[in-house]
Amino acid sequence: MVEYTDGSTQEVPVGFTDWTPGTAYRFGNEPLVTTTGRNRASGGSDTAQTKVFGTRPVALDPAKRVAAVVLPRGTDQGVMHVFDVALTDRPVTRPGGTADAPAHRQAFGKPPFRRGAGALLAVGGRVAQAGRMGASPTLISSVQRAFRLLEAASAHETGAPAKQLARETGLPLGTAYHLLRTLVHDGYLRKLDDGGFVLGDRVQSLNAGGRSQALLTRVRPVLSALRDELSSAAYLTFYEDGEIRVSEVVDGPRAPRVDLWVGFEDAGHATALGKAVLRELDDEGRKEYLSRHVLNDLTPHTVTTPVELIRRLETTPLAPAMTDLEEYALGTVCVAVPVYSGGTLGSLGVSMPRSRLDRIDEVRGRLLPTADRVTRSLSLTM
């Protein structure tokens, strides 16, 4: 379907011949590319001739300006692929010598095509949106228009109606309505009772995620340096929504990460990273965490009773560092210390083979100043 800037639309049916048609071309298609052979799912190939087709040009209203093209959601037979859409304001000569009026679009399709419905168009002499594949970066105009609507909606604290947003973005009202409905459906906008549109919860989630990514970008070089210096995989966790979650792992060929065979949300009691967080919690916070988590027996060395776990948290000789001595995975030991991102508690740690157990004091001495650097970086105001 073609949408014009005055809000009107035009249906443009599009059909493609099957990609191995012999000479039986349908829907006025013309073969543009012919090649021999198709790959088979079972292996090998055949010698069938396959073709890429161009559709018959379709004339649009030369007195109107095109705003958008709505592509088909499906076909009535087979699968349609559209590779390119071409526009011209010159007459197009059809087979037989007849010429169409200016303003056509032509679609180019590839196997396996059968008849389908599409929105392929042209404008008589005045083009609002036109582009050719390969001449410049491929841009999806509908995505651009959706972002323009989001930007416009964000500028109105109490919301703005569809007509105002369409006017501010220069979009036809029909196009704006379609995009607004989609953005509301997906949670990027919210429609108020008075008909105004404001930013939705999904945008807030994106913003929060972007802040987290930016913060992690600050500390990733520090984790990389720690990995290289200790030849050990480095880990960063945070205690969020009552769970200990891994936010970043920096490893390498000479510093492989431990196999996270049990999620950290279920293994905080058995990991140095988890215990470094639990040690920093107050009595009430620990009690609340332990009331929600079973202390699963992951190896013969895992502590499985709350009383013994708390005793070890409070009496560790390496405080504030905590260790995991094959409690999460046999053959692996870990050391971790607490870090903070503003008011959010987390931990920084490394894992290494049991054969390097005698280096724990050295590793602790390196982790503490690194944790201070990470905390300072994470606590900077964005």
Residue 42 is predicted with a pLDDT of 65
d(Cα 313, Cα 321) in Å, to the nearest integer? Answer: 10
Residue 104 vs residue 56, higher pLDDT: 56
Cis peptide before 112 (omega within 30 of 0): yes
Sign of CA dihedral 296, 301, 314, 280: negative
Residue 271 is predicted with a pLDDT of 96
125-135 mean pLDDT = 31
d(Cα 336, Cα 371) in Å, to the nearest integer? Answer: 9
Residue 216 vs residue 25, higher pLDDT: 25
pLDDT higher than threshold 50 for residue 118: no
Listed in sequence order, the residues at least 6 apart from 124 whose beta carbon sits closer than 8 Å to its beta carbon are 60, 61, 62, 63, 64, 89, 101, 102, 103
Residue 67 is predicted with a pLDDT of 77
> What is Dmax (Cα atoms) for the chain?
94
pLDDT tens sequence across 287-330: 999 999 999 999 999 999 999 999 999 999 999 999 999 999 99
Provide the whole-model pTM: 0.50
Q: What would the two tokens of residue 200 be? A: 């939705």
Sign of CA dihedral 238, 240, 245, 246: negative
Q: Is residue 86 within 8 Å of 106, Cβ to Cβ?
A: yes
d(Cα 146, Cα 52) in Å, to the nearest integer? Answer: 32
d(Cα 121, Cα 54) in Å, to the nearest integer? Answer: 13
Q: What would the two tokens of residue 74 be? A: 């499906």
pLDDT tens sequence across 210-230: 556 666 777 889 999 999 999
pLDDT higher than threshold 50 for residue 97: no
SS3 307: helix
pLDDT tens sequence across 335-376: 999 999 888 899 999 999 999 999 999 999 999 999 999 988
Confidence of residue 29 (pLDDT cuts 50, 70, 90): confident
**What architecture is the 142-199 domain classified under in CATH?**
Orthogonal Bundle (1.10)
**In the CATH scheme, what is the code of domain 217-379?**
3.30.450.40
Residue 78 vs residue 189, higher pLDDT: 189
Residue 284 is predicted with a pLDDT of 94
Residue 382 is predicted with a pLDDT of 43
DSSP string, 221-240: HHHHHHHHHHTSEEEEEEEE
Residue 53 is predicted with a pLDDT of 82
Residue 91 is predicted with a pLDDT of 64
For residue 355, how far is the Cα from the chain centroid?
Answer: 40
d(Cα 291, Cα 203) in Å, to the nearest integer? Answer: 34
Please state, for a pLDDT cut of 70, what percent of the chain lies above it. 80
Residue 207 is predicted with a pLDDT of 65
Radius of gyration (C-alpha) of the chain in whole angstroms: 31
Residue 95 is predicted with a pLDDT of 47
d(Cα 329, Cα 277) in Å, to the nearest integer? Answer: 19
Residue 287 is predicted with a pLDDT of 94
Residue 116 is predicted with a pLDDT of 30
Residue 32 is predicted with a pLDDT of 83
138-167 mean pLDDT = 88
Buried b (16+ CB within 10 A) or exposed e, 210-238: eeeeebbeebeebbeebbeebebbbbbbb
Q: What is the dihedral of CA 364, 366, 367, 369, to 10 degrees?
A: 120
pLDDT tens sequence across 38-72: 777 566 777 878 888 888 788 888 888 877 777 77
pLDDT higher than threshold 60 for residue 282: yes
Segments making up each domain of the chain, as ranges: 1-130, 142-199, 217-379
Mean pLDDT for the chain overall: 80
Confidence of residue 107 (pLDDT cuts 50, 70, 90): very low
Beta strands in the chain (DSSP E): 2-4, 9-10, 12-14, 30-36, 49-54, 58-59, 66-69, 81-88, 104-110, 116-118, 189-191, 197-199, 233-240, 243-250, 322-325, 332-341, 344-353
Ranked by mean pLDDT, the top range of 90-94, 153-157, 292-296 is 292-296
Cis peptide before 320 (omega within 30 of 0): yes
Residue 244 vs residue 19, higher pLDDT: 244
Report in angstroms the alpha-carbon separations of 193 from 161, 189, 258: 11, 13, 52
Please state, for a pLDDT cut of 90, what percent of the chain lies above it. 43
